[in-house]
Every structure is written in structure tokens, then in C-alpha cells.
Amino acid sequence: METLQCLSFSSQSDPKNINALLDRAVDKSYTNKYKGAIDDYSKVIELDPDNSLAFLNRGKNKERLEDHKGAIADFDKAINTKGNELIYVDKVEDPYVETGFEYDVKIEEIRFERGIAYYKIGNLKKAFDDFSFVIRKDYNLSDCYYWRGLIYLSYKMKDEGCKDLSKAMELGDPDAKDLLDKYCK
């Protein structure tokens, strides 16, 4: 039986099985069935309204469908499951004690995804804030420097933009060199 069919059977036999719903949603995402994945993540959220992983992944799927504002709303909800942007808790799973934290996502991962969505709707200030936060958290640095470099260039801040794009290239971003060649000579 195909994986997606097995997971569909599993989630039908126990419609409250969060793990089966999450697994099926991931499989739908990988097979470009984004609306189906969104539906499964929505079911997870109905069962577990504090599931930051479901909000993050539902937002990613909305982003893939170019529903940037819907994605941002989900990323905001994922952040709210952790507290808020200023005071938040990254929950740590304990291998010895059942904590219920297995669906937590680090705030820097959420803010990285939200930064991209903000960039795509033209809210460069909020995108910049998110990427700068993520850089301070030492997460996904090459991509963050790349996006932040684009923002600097959008604001005609060539020196800062070129510096960030150089850092992105140094860290292995494959697209940074083309922009450096184009804008930073």
C-alpha cells in the first residue's frame, strides 16, 4: 500500500491521531498537494490548538500557494503558542519524561519563514526585523544574509547590502554571487 494511502487509513481509523495527521500532511506537502496538507494541519490544530509545528507547516503550505498574508497569520499563531515575540519559551523535549513538547518549533525557524512572507508582500521593515533576529539566533545564516542583503539593496543601502550578500556567499548561498556581480562592483 502506498504511504499516503496507509496514512489516510491510519487517520481514518483514529481521526484524533495527531501523529498520523501530521505524517499525512507532510506527505501531501512533498507531493505538492498543498491544499490537502493545509486541511490536515487544520485538523491537527483543532485537536491541539497549541501545536506550533502544525501552524508553522500550515503557513509554509499557504506560502507555497502564494497566500502570503494567510502564511503570516499562521506564523504569528505559531509564535503565540510560545508566548510572543519578546517573551517566548522554546520548549525542550525530554527523552525520559512525556512533556508534550514534541511539536514545538524554535522561534527562529518561525521568524525565518515569516520574514520571507513579509518580503514577498513588500513589508521590508518587518522582513528585515525577522531576518536580523534570526541572524542573532545563529540560524540559517546564509539565507538570512541573502534576504537581508536584498532588503538593504531595496533601500539603496549598497554597502550594507553588498556586505550581507558577501557574507551569504561566504556561507554558501548559491544565488548571492550573481547579485554581487550585478550590484556590488
Crossing angle between the packed helical segments 18-30 and 34-47, to the nearest 10 degrees: 160
pLDDT of residue 15: 78
Round to whole Å and give the CA distance between 70 and 113. 12
Round to whole Å and give the CA distance between 160 and 37. 39
> Which of 100, 111, 104, 97 shows the shortest CA–CA distance to 140?
111
> Which of 161, 151, 106 shows the shortest CA–CA distance to 126?
151
> Which of 151, 139, 83 shows the shortest CA–CA distance to 111?
139
Backbone angles phi, psi at 108, to 5 degrees: -65, -30
Round to whole Å and give the CA distance between 75 and 56. 6
Whose cell is 504569528? That residue is 76
pLDDT digits (tens, 9 = 90+) for 51-91: 999 999 999 999 999 999 999 999 999 999 998 888 888 77
* pLDDT over 70, % of the chain: 88
How far, in whole angstroms, is CA 120 from its chain's centroid?
Answer: 14
Cell of 134: 534570526
pLDDT digits (tens, 9 = 90+) for 88-107: 887 766 667 666 677 899 99
pLDDT digits (tens, 9 = 90+) for 103-119: 899 999 999 999 999 99
Round to whole Å and give the CA distance between 88 and 85. 6
> Which of 185, 172, 116 shows the shortest CA–CA distance to 148?
116
